[in-house]
Amino acid sequence: MNKKIILLIIFLSIVLSSCIINLNTSSIFTTGRTYTGAWSGYLYGTDNIHGNSIIRIASDGTMQFKDQYNITIDFYKYDIVHKTVSGNDVYEASKYMYDRGDSVTYYLTIELVKSSYNESIYIANVRLVEKRNIMNDKIYSGTFNRY
């Protein structure tokens, strides 16, 4: 009898802890919050001048973009919009990001798409627009996987 009660308590504690984790992960994309874990990926420039760039989104809410310049972005300051695209939950953050001071401005869009085969996995699609003198745009885009 005691073994059954102990097993029931263990089972309930596992179920409840997984519910709490799911609640936390479902609310982490709200404005002013960030998500746990880190992401890593490549950005590819359409002009192929910069080559491969590496971005890492850290669990502390910052993002490191390493290319010709090192840029750190505070993800907490993004207004994150939730939408549903083809039945998928998509969280999008888009913002003026960085002014280099020589008429070059960066705008960054991060789109987090919930995986259709595993609801706890999001794929981050990242697009970086480099505006030069508000005339020419260079588009960088890539896909990130969480690790």
CATH number of the domain within which 81 lies = 2.40.160
Q: Do 23 and 80 belong to one domain?
A: no
Q: Do 86 and 124 belong to one domain?
A: yes
Q: Do 16 and 58 belong to one domain?
A: no
Q: Assign 76 to helix, strand or coil.
A: helix
Percent of the chain with pLDDT over 90: 0
Residues, the chain: 147
Q: Do 117 and 79 belong to one domain?
A: yes
Q: Do 57 and 82 belong to one domain?
A: yes
Give the whole-angstrom CA distance, residue 119 versus residue 89. 9
Look at the chain and report how many structural domains it folds into. Answer: 2
Q: Do 111 and 99 belong to one domain?
A: yes
pLDDT of residue 107: 60
Would you give the end-to-end CA distance of the chain in angstroms? 43
Q: Do 4 and 76 belong to one domain?
A: no
pLDDT, tens digit, 9 for 90 and up, residues 39-49: 444 444 443 33
pLDDT band at 76 (very low <50, low <70, confident <90, very high): very low
DSSP 3: H
pLDDT, tens digit, 9 for 90 and up, residues 93-143: 555 555 556 666 656 666 666 666 665 555 556 665 666 655 555 554 554
Give the whole-angstrom CA distance, residue 129 versus residue 141. 9
Count of beta carbons in the 10 Å neighbourhood of residue 104: 14
pLDDT of residue 27: 35
Q: Do 62 and 115 belong to one domain?
A: yes
Is the pLDDT at 86 greater than 60? The verdict is yes
The chain-wide mean pLDDT, for the chain, equals 51
Which range of residues forms the domain containing residue 21?
1-29
Q: Do 81 and 112 belong to one domain?
A: yes
Nearest Cα residue to 36 out of 19, 58, 4, 14: 58
Helix (H) or strand (E) holding 12: helix 2-27
pLDDT band at 35 (very low <50, low <70, confident <90, very high): very low
Q: Do 49 and 80 belong to one domain?
A: yes
Give this prediction's pTM.
0.35
Give the whole-angstrom CA distance, residue 88 versus residue 82. 10
